[in-house]
Amino acid sequence: MTALVGDIGGTNARFALWRNQKIESVRVLPTVDYPRPEDAIRAYLQGTGQSVDALQAVCLACAGPVSGDEFAFTNNHWRLSRKAFCEDLGLSDLLLVNDFTAMALGMTRLREGELIEVCPGRSEPGAARLVIGPGTGLGVATLLPLPDGGWRALPGEGGHVCLPIGTSREAALWARLHDKFGHVNAEAILSGGGLLELYRTSCVLDGKQPSLATPAEVTAAALTGDAYASSVLEQFCVWLGRIAGDNVLTTGSRGGVYIAGGIVPRFVEFFIRSGFSQSFRDKGCMSRYFDEIPVWVVTADYPGLEGAGVALQQLLEGPSSGG
């Protein structure tokens, strides 16, 4: 079978061919460069010398809740109709999955050297695992082990839960964010744009003139010794710990936590030294619940694409084909 798999976020669309249960010919295309996903796929196929007619299946992992015929991407301008998409590309069917469903399934394909330990521990047999990752947005999914050795991913929109407050400083930041946005969700801070928002809001709170203009500048300044930028990045890590811990309590993910997405791998050493671990387990009477839960940062290049391939394979063969 020759299939096309895609992992489409707010900023980039990643495409690959899925053959013999492996991804090939990976390309990354900016979503802003194309009016529709169909146009990006045609450009990808042309660039890899493939014909649309050669495709036997397509699976797209998309940021946002997936249901029905129409799909609107959460963090970019694309919209998609399954029926129109198939008619345009001459396909019989299109498999759409949530992007973090694919990311979760991608965890079943990780290779040696693609995980960095943040919190040591021991995976509880048969327990769920949490997959969470800041990127253009904040993705969250749960990975469930099956009795036959396969895996099932449970999609969700955990990035849109309420941002928790654990200190008076966080309460003050939250109040500023609430004045600006109304509802303050986790993604408002735990994303690329959220890091910049956290920096700007912190500056307003502290009466400081902002001098950094992008998330990359905030991160770079923090890593090169800027004390204020470091404090902002530290708060980002602490808030990620609070949200990850809340999700573990909700889903019972004592099998472990994968920190995925494109942001945290850029500052892994800082992240390991940060207050993430403490805030992750800072749950009052339930703090001991976290004593043996391992946490890893995922450094694999294309786990979402791998997971889209696994989702397609599961559709054809059943959940036990997930790795």
Domains observed in the chain: 3-102+302-321 (3.30.420.40), 115-299 (3.40.367.20)
Whether 74 and 10 have beta carbons less than 8 Å apart is answered as yes
pLDDT surpasses 70 at 321: no
- Per-residue pLDDT tens for 12-42? 899 999 998 899 999 999 999 999 999 999 9
Which residues are documented as binding site for ATP?
Answer: 6-11
Which residues are documented as binding site?
Answer: 6-11
Element (H, E) at 132: strand 129-134
Q: Dihedral through CA 246, CA 249, CA 254, CA 258, nearest 10?
A: -20
pLDDT at position 146, please? 93
Sign of CA dihedral 298, 300, 302, 305: negative
Residue 9: pLDDT band by 50, 70, 90 thresholds?
Answer: confident
Measured distance CA(129)–CA(137) in Å, rounded: 20
